[in-house]
Amino acid sequence: MPRKASATTSTEPPRRSSRITSQPKEVSKAAPKASKKRPAATASEGAAASDSAAKKAKTGEAKSEEQEPPAPQEEEAQPAAIASEDAAASDSGAKESFILYKAATGEAKSEEAAPAPKAEDSAKLAKIEIGDILPSGVTLKNEKGEDVDVAGLAAEKGVVLFLVPKADTPGCTTQACGFRDIHPDFTSVNYDVYCLSADTPEAQTKWQTKKELPFPLISDPKRILITALGAGEGGKTKRSHFIFEKGGKLLDKKNPVKPADSPKLALEFIKSL
């Protein structure tokens, strides 16, 4: 019996010691758990930091992308400028081709036949009034393309200058043929007759040949002399005639005048001197 009591006493202490020893084990186990939680926190902080860095990088890229668009605008402006230059070049080419077409088809002949006078050309000569002398230093062309010194026209004889708007037109033909028919009457009183117009020498030659005009024709395409005589206003030639005595002094003028009346009135005035 004493042996059983000792056995019971010997077994109880170990149970208590096991409880005591189990407490430290729980503490030691808690410590590792705390240590495991810290790395998780640091990892989450690192992830958050990397996320914020990524966001900043993205926002920075977005800002840089927002600031870059001006460059494409400049690149877009260059094609626009090139397009405008191409359009201007095409317009210029179209104009040149149109001018060449008009020249080839002969549509510009009427414009070349009687060009409007330039202000600088007409300003070279003062207006010629009654009593004034034919201007010196003015050279024009006759129907043959030869030079004609205007001041020298009346050097030896008196001169009748009759002006027509356009060669080989009905009214001008009536006026010219009127001077043709009584031309001997002018030469008999020592007066020469000249027809003055803005037509080209070629146009005047055709007209002269067609109507058998016995007097020279003078071409004044810029209307230099025509304007000085007061018959070139508005870029057109007024039908008229002017009578100069020997030496070039202007004695009489009819501006305007009717085609059929011009030859008769000129001859009557000369005979009345």
Cβ within 8 Å of residue 210, ≥6 positions away: 168
Share of residues in the chain with pLDDT > 70 (%): 55
- In this model, does residue 227 exceed pLDDT 70? yes
- Please state whether the predicted TM-score (pTM) of the whole model is above 0.75: no
* CB distance 263 to 182 below 8 Å: yes
**Residue 17 pLDDT more than 50?**
no
Within 10 angstroms of residue 4's Cβ, the number of other Cβ atoms is: 8
pLDDT value for 100: 57
Distance between CA atoms of 158 and 174, rounded to whole angstroms? 23
Contact call for residues 178 and 259 (beta carbons, < 8 A): yes
pLDDT bucket at 102, cuts 50 / 70 / 90: low
Instruction: List, for residues 116-143, the tens digit of each pLDDT value.
Output: 444 444 446 999 999 999 999 999 999 9
Classify each residue of 157-181 as buried b or exposed e, where b means 16 or more C-beta atoms within 10 Å of its C-beta: bbbbbbbbbbbbeeebbebbebbbe
What would the CATH number be for the domain defined by 119-271? 3.40.30.10
More confident position, 24 or 166: 166
Lowest pLDDT segment from 32-36, 48-52, 147-151 = 32-36
Residue 43: per-residue pLDDT: 44
Q: Per the structure block, which two tokens stand in for 206?
A: 């055709």
Residue in 164, 170, 222 with CA at minimum distance from that of residue 193: 164
Q: Which positions are catalytic?
A: 172
pLDDT at 50 over 90: no
Domain spans, the chain: 15-68, 73-107, 119-271
- Asked whether the bond before 256 is cis by omega within 30 degrees of 0, the reply is yes
Is it the case that residue 49 has pLDDT exceeding 90?
no
Which pLDDT band, with edges at 50, 70 and 90, does 242 fall under?
Answer: very high
pLDDT of amino acid 256: 97
- C-alpha span between 100 and 251 (Å, rounded): 47
At residue 233, the pLDDT reads: 86
